């Protein structure tokens, strides 16, 4: 179990670093799903990318892992309106990728659960 947890942790770090970098490589995607009522769209896209990278790096070290996991949970909650906006945009456009936007909504719960699994210390039980 410990080995699987370490693999899962590594996967989470890679996932969030890649997602964070993607905010800089493809900011237009994220700008399109920003809710209109939020100010400073480009700044918020860049900030969320920085946060994803930083929080992923916090997961690496046992002393900061719990903080990193809680920060990821808060970030996932904070970006949830963008996932809703994406679904609304795709519905209005009759976008064939609407199913992806719909799946993203409950996927947030899975991602939150995944991050939550690292809010407790990893213990080796040999």
Q: CA Rg, the chain, in Å?
A: 16
Q: List C-alpha distances in Å: 47 to 37, 53, 76, 104, 106.
A: 17, 10, 13, 21, 24
Locate 104 and state its tokens.
Answer: 């993203």
User: What is the model's pLDDT at position 3?
Assistant: 87
Once rounded to an integer, what is the mean pLDDT over residues 33-40? Answer: 95
Those residues with Cβ within 8 angstroms of residue 89's Cβ, 6 or more apart along the chain or in another chain? 32, 33, 95, 101
Single pTM value for the model: 0.91
CA distances from residue 15 to 77, 88, 91, 99 in whole angstroms, order as listed: 17, 25, 27, 21
- Per-residue pLDDT at 2: 83
pLDDT number for residue 122: 72
- For range 50-76, the mean pLDDT: 98
Provide mean pLDDT across the span 117-126: 78
Q: Which of the four pLDDT bands, split at 50, 70 and 90, describes residue 96?
A: very high
Query: Residue 21 — pLDDT band, cuts 50, 70, 90?
Result: very high
Is residue 125 over pLDDT 70?
A: no
Average pLDDT of 44-53?
98
- Pick the closest to residue 15 from 57, 77, 43, 46 (CA basis): 57
Name the residue ranges covered by the structural domains of the chain.
Answer: 2-116
pLDDT higher at 121 or 81 = 81
Q: How far is CA 72 from CA 20, 49, 85, 111, 116, in A?
A: 12, 12, 20, 9, 9
Give the model's pLDDT for residue 105: 96
- Report yes or no: 113 and 4 within 8 Å, Cβ to Cβ: no
Residue 124 has pLDDT above 90, yes or no: no
């Amino acid at each position: 179990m410990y080995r699987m947890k370490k693999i899962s942790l590594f996967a989470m770090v890679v996932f969030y670093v890649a997602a964070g970098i993607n905010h800089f490589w493809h900011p237009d995607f994220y700008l399109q799903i920003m809710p209109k009522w939020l100010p400073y769209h480009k700044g918020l896209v860049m900030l969320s990318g920085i946060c994803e990278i930083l929080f992923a790096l916090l997961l690496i070290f046992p002393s900061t892992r719990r903080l990193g996991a809680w920060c990821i949970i808060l970030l996932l909650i904070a970006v949830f309106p963008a996932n809703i906006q994406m679904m609304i945009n795709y519905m209005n456009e009759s976008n064939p990728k609407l199913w992806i936007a719909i799946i993203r909504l409950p996927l947030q719960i899975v991602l939150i659960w995944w991050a939550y699994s690292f809010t407790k210390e990893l213990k080796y039980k040999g």
